[in-house]
Amino acid sequence: MRVFICFEGACEHFDVRPDQTVGAMKQMVKEHLLVHLSDDKQARQYLELIYGGAALQDTWALCDVGIRSGSALQCLRKSEQRPVMRVFNAVTGETLQIMGSEALLHISVARFKSLVSVQSGLPVSSFRLSTPAGVQLYDCNQLQDYTIEIGSTLRLDTWDGWVEFLQGCLLGHRLRVQSNLSENKPVMRFQLQVALYIAASLGHLDVAAWLLEKGVHPEEPVGVHPYRQWCHQTAHRDTEKCPIHIAAESSQFLILKLFVARNPSTLACRDAEGHDPLKVALQRGHRDCVRYLANKLYSVVSLSNMTLPMQIYLQIKRWVGLGQKRAASNRCQYTNAAFKARAGDKLLVDGFNQPDMSSKSKRSVTKPSRGTKTKALQLPSLQEKMWGHDSKGRTDGAFKEISEEDSSSCRSKFLLPSVTRKSINGPGFVGASPNSSHRLTASLEPFSHLCGWTPRENAVHCLTTASTFTEKPWLKQLKIARTLIRKRVHSKALISRWTT
């Protein structure tokens, strides 16, 4: 049968079989009309046949789509921009296409992670990128440092045990997010902040309202994982983004209204570049968000006995917040409440250890069996630590093992070695002479001769005496014990001088 092909202002006829495929028909047009199609790493050109307003697939037969003898088809030359790179998302199983030019290969890893974060909806502190060979990409380097070529496929991995949690956040399933939270409290707080960031980015109103009820603040930045809190100075700039900023950036109008209605001080929240939500919405060109934020920012706040402009109210709230932070910084000199990282916590530093970011599911992460009871160590009282026996008179150690159920009533749990009766050599001092330990032992011998007690027994006696001041804190008791030891040594020294 004979069909007519219209291509770039010309019309040519072709004699084909009824069962001819569309792909073979394109090849005939290409050879007969001498059509040159470019195909490189950045873009490719191809032919497309259109019949009845629909584009025909290459595997279709002409007779199957109703093409008869004398039919006219339109042939178009089209071009397709190829992605510069692809990123396989291990959380969703999808492959993200990063479009752009070849200049994208010369940007930093930190900037590239920002592009991936916008396209995937995940904060930069919740994932890492690696090359096809498994080499991790660090923010301070350039993409060209890893010899990444155009069309390469990178891999996005998240923290082990976070796959189900992040899937629930991306889908907006509140129960799935709640059931996959970590049992570690610092990690769980970080997960809640990540969940609010994703909810603000994708517009999950139900999850955002639930997180606000849990006490998550939209004006606080997402931050970094607790394992990286000790090296947060080198963290990505986008870790300072708050959920209110990502809501204004993503034009999530309902999320913005929820955040501002819950806490008006979010209007003055600023990111790492010093931009408030109104400035972010202006840069993105989101008219509805700009109109709403501007009306709120230039409105008035009605208090119990006065009415203040919103900007004055926000300034007062800022002063109050600064005063509370200063008072907290003064209190943390005597308490450890301000410290986020504790002794024994895991520490991750780029380039020095392998982070736990291989996208393992929560089931595959090893857990202790439920049937076995873990044991904890209980810190005894001051008298038990000094004399080396417990309240029942046993002297088998200064610490006793208790079951997990009994340890819940303890004030604190420690993983400490047992106390031994043998002498323990203290740490060496920089610049100390080889005979310094001998001189220290020799200087304590006259005290033992005059007092009849060893220095350890004297210290135990003074600490036991100081522990009777139960109304004073333990550090105050320790200070009293040091004063008693100092006076006792001084008095024995004076007696020694008088007798000689």
Chain segment 244-274, per-residue pLDDT in tens: 999 999 999 999 999 998 888 888 888 888 8
Query: Is the predicted pLDDT of residue 422 greater than 60, yes or no?
Result: no
CB-based contact 251:288 (threshold 8 Å)? yes
CA distance 355 to 225: 11
CA distance 327 to 146: 47
First to last CA, the chain: 132
Q: Residue 122: which H helix or E strand, with range?
A: none
Residue count of the chain: 500
pLDDT confidence band for 499 (50 / 70 / 90): low
Among 468, 455, 451, which Cα is nearest to 426's? 455
Q: How far is CA 55 from the centre of its chain?
A: 46
Counts for the chain of helices (H) and strands (E), in that order: 15, 14
Each residue of 140-155: pLDDT tens digit? Answer: 889 888 888 888 899 9
- Interval 40-57 mean pLDDT: 82
Q: Who has greater pLDDT, 38 or 360? A: 360
Each residue of 423-481: pLDDT tens digit? Answer: 444 444 444 455 544 544 555 566 666 666 777 777 888 888 888 877 778 788 888 88
Q: Residue 296: which H helix or E strand, with range?
A: helix 287-297
By CB atoms closer than 10 A (0-12, 13-18, 19+), residue 356 is: middle
Local structure of 370: helix, strand or coil: coil
Among 155, 179, 183, which Cα is nearest to 167's? 179
Query: Is the predicted pLDDT of residue 380 greater than 50, yes or no?
Result: no
Each residue of 121-132: pLDDT tens digit? Answer: 999 999 999 998
pLDDT confidence band for 162 (50 / 70 / 90): very high
Query: Is the predicted pLDDT of residue 381 greater than 80, yes or no?
Result: no
- Interval 1-11 mean pLDDT: 86
The DSSP line for 260-295 is HHH-GGGGG---TTS--HHHHHHHHT-HHHHHHHHH
Return the pLDDT at 494: 61
- β-strands 375-378, 400-403: how paired? antiparallel
- Interval 36-55 mean pLDDT: 80
Residue type, 108: S
Query: Is the predicted pLDDT of residue 90 greater than 80, yes or no?
Result: yes
| Domains defined along the chain, listed by start | 2-81 (3.10.20.90), 377-411 (no CATH), 442-499 (no CATH)
- β-strands 43-51, 85-89: how paired? unpaired
Return the pLDDT at 194: 95
